[in-house]
Amino acid sequence: MSAVSKGTDETVATSDRAGQEIFTPHDHAACVSNSFAAAEARCESGKVRLTENRRRVLDLLLEEHRPMGAYAILERLRAIGYSAQPPVAYRALDFLMEKGLAHRIESLNAYVACSNPENCTNPAFLVCQVCDRVAEAQADDRPSAAALAAGKIGFEIEQEFREARGTCPSCTNKA
Amino acid sequence: MSAVSKGTDETVATSDRAGQEIFTPHDHAACVSNSFAAAEARCESGKVRLTENRRRVLDLLLEEHRPMGAYAILERLRAIGYSAQPPVAYRALDFLMEKGLAHRIESLNAYVACSNPENCTNPAFLVCQVCDRVAEAQADDRPSAAALAAGKIGFEIEQEFREARGTCPSCTNKA
DNA sequence: TTCAGAGTGTTATGTTATAACACACTCTGT
DNA sequence: ACAGAGTGTGTTATAACATAACACTCTGAA
């Protein structure tokens, strides 16, 4: 298994992290190596390991660079010659999410690799309903509407989900 | 079928719409009549009808006042003597969501009655992971982090999902 | 009165996720 | 060396959530 992408649209790097790198060419090889570097770093300290299975799933997510359902991941794993029952995918995904290397897109029941694992605290996702890609944006530092409401009533937030469905710029232009 | 609640915790009305009415006593009978009034109003103009099925499902959601899975709804429908296959629930829920009378909680795969159907545009949901209730807050008028990111890259947002998982005040106090 | 559109009933199936249990691997302390 | 704890895997089975498809009924307008 190679930690390497499919080789499409990975020519131009962008520095802005507003999310457009997903909908336009970007330095995908860097994505991959960043992500694996972060993954290894996060396993150094603890007792957990970046095992073969977990690598493979991370690799698939990075390669696709778009949300994948757990069963799509399983199919791919089988295609490359591994036996894989559902728990295999879910365990790997749980690990990756726990370590901040992947995110669940609630509105799609699907999973994506984190596009910025070094610096990912409050991601918001822009989900293109045409091409099915997802851009990950870092939320700004203003408290969200949910956080404000929570503060008012003494609700303690543990995790926020922010997702938006719509049409990405390149699909808008095609239409 | 009565458009009436179970009769618990429905004593004190609150006027603030920050969401606390879900986690504290409130005038539940008013909820119910507001919701049915809105439902009827939204059927006046069009060709669609607030049919028995749709009434029943709305009534159940209002009665529970917490998220219900589609299959929980089906169980309840059967319990009160109606045959009900999955499409029955999903069709009613689709209708209610289309008319803004119910919302889907993506992170739970569940549905709640809208707590403020007259004035509901950008709801954010606070989901208590202990008691399983959901408060619905109206988002403020600031653009969300997602909207800002979207604006920057020309992504056209159609719908936003804002959900937060955490612990509600009364469950925090019990702990 | 008939026709179109809206809604229902039903069967079957597709999709997503987890429980549970036996086993294997890898450290660590002795 | 090896026992024990903790971590991870393999596998079977099943739970939970959602939709496709088709025949039928109802209602209101032409």
Tell me if B54 is assigned to some domain. yes
Predicted confidence at residue A97, as pLDDT, reads 97
Distance B11 CA to C15 C1' (A): 43
Q: How far, in Å, are A54, B65, B114 from residue A3 at the CA level? A: 12, 48, 46
Chain A residues in contact with B164 (beta carbon < 8 A): 144, 146-147, 150, 155, 157-161
Tell me if A92 is assigned to some domain. yes
Tell me if B4 is assigned to some domain. no
Tell me if A10 is assigned to some domain. no
The CATH number of the domain holding residue A123 is 1.10.10.10
Mutate: best of A155, A167, A170, A174, partner B, most B CBs <10 A: A155
Instruction: Name the domain count of chain A.
Output: 1
Q: How far apart are the C-alpha atoms of A167 and A172, rounded to whole Å? A: 6
Chain B residues in contact with A160 (beta carbon < 8 A): 162-165
Structural domain boundaries enclosing A147: 20-174
Tell me if B32 is assigned to some domain. yes
Which helix H or strand E contains A113, and what residues bound it?
Answer: strand A110-113
Q: Which residues of chain A have pLDDT under 50?
A: 1-17
Tell me if A138 is assigned to some domain. yes
Nearest to B161 among A106, A142, A168 (CB): A106
Helix, strand, coil % over all residues of chain B, rounded to 5 = 40, 20, 40
3-class DSSP assignment, residue A8: coil
Please give chain B's pLDDT, 175 residues, in tens.
Answer: 333 333 333 333 333 445 556 666 678 888 899 999 999 999 987 789 999 999 999 999 999 889 999 999 999 999 998 889 999 999 999 999 999 999 999 999 999 999 999 989 889 999 999 998 999 998 788 899 999 999 999 999 999 999 999 999 999 998 7
Tell me if B48 is assigned to some domain. yes
Tell me if B2 is assigned to some domain. no
